[in-house]
Homo-oligomer: A and B are copies of this chain.
């Protein structure tokens, strides 16, 4: 059966399209008898209202968008679960958009939202995002937006983050406590606030322990897996080889482990490893992985809850609703003396 339209219903019932439309909207202009006839035929013919037409009236799409760099990371997949738990309860659809760490793509996605496709946006920016004009533009169109994890401090809206500075500090201090003096830090961006804060925590911990920061120990990784492996290998082949490594994103863990395997470097005896990671398999790696475990599910849930407050209450001030949920250091074999 083809698409059933209001026009067809009108023809079948010998009514005007306006009358059909009003009857479907339960308007007071239409008698109860007529409404019943319309609804009965609509049900019989399996009529589905066109949401685009409906949206013009309602101005509500009953959907929120989540814009993420990627889903192949446990942090983001757990955050999505937290977001969906809230959205489903509210009867909303969740659309997930991926920027793949690409600024141009993120810009195109946000541009698409300007015209009312979604009622609100949860955003974790790409590693490339320096310019924030596209985010500013969306906010200017009065589309409610909440940041989680990867935020832009210059945009005045709610931001759900974890304690990145303290976590960077704790990871570094833990390695120092276990005898490391030459610790490499692997990150994915020089502009992301989370990367910078982790880096600051790392540098402060070094300083507080009387260890000089060595710029050669900071590696900026990319989206290119093979290139990352090569760069990590170079660092681990340096004469002054690091005795500890902090991976500030989950995906770099596999790279570090594989390079150590290839170079026959024993973890943790020759080099200690700690990752910012939520991967369920941390415990079954060889050796099991010490992690900074982020409250991914709770961060997603909090971000969605605040967004829905803004959707439900007029004059709700998003920028007053920022929240920091702390991460946890989970100590396993990869960072301790065996």
Contacts and interface: CB of A to CB of B under 8 A. Distances in A.
Chain A interface size range? 35 or more
B109 A93 contact: yes
Interface stretch (A76-84, A172-180, A199-207): A76-84
Nearest to A260: B284
B283 A285 contact: no
A216 interface: no
Nearest to A111: B48
A143 B74 CA distance: 33
- Residue from A142, A281, A286, A287 having most chain B Cβ neighbours under 10 A: A281
A210 interface: no
Contacts of A117: 51
Contacts of A261: 283-284
A241 interface: no
Contact of A50 (B56, B76, B97, B257): B56
A33 interface: no
A335 to B, nearest CB: 16
Nearest to A98: B84
Nearest to A251: B280
Contacts of A88: 105
Contact of A71 (B71, B114, B253, B281): B71
Contact of A115 (B51, B96, B109, B253): B51
A105 B288 CA distance: 36
Contacts of A76: 71
Interface in A253-307: 253-254, 257-258, 261, 279-281, 283-288
A41 interface: no
A37 interface: no
B70 A77 contact: yes
Given A52-B56, A280-B254, A284-B286, A98 B116 contact: no
Contacts of A100: 81, 84
A247 to B, nearest CB: 13
Contacts of A39: none
Contacts of A3: 141-142
Contact of A281 (B55, B142, B281): B281
A284 B285 contact: yes
Nearest to A109: B93
A115 B286 contact: no
Contacts of A98: 80, 84, 94, 96
A49 interface: yes
A1 B140 contact: yes
A112 interface: yes
- Residue from A254, A258, A284 having most chain B Cβ neighbours under 10 A: A284
Contact of A286 (B71, B114, B251, B287): B287
11 contacts: A2-B142, A48-B115, A51-B52, A51-B116, A72-B77, A72-B78, A77-B77, A253-B281, A254-B284, A258-B284, A286-B288
Given A46-B137, A95-B96, A96-B98, 9 more contacts: A2-B142, A3-B142, A51-B115, A52-B53, A80-B98, A94-B98, A95-B95, A254-B283, A257-B284
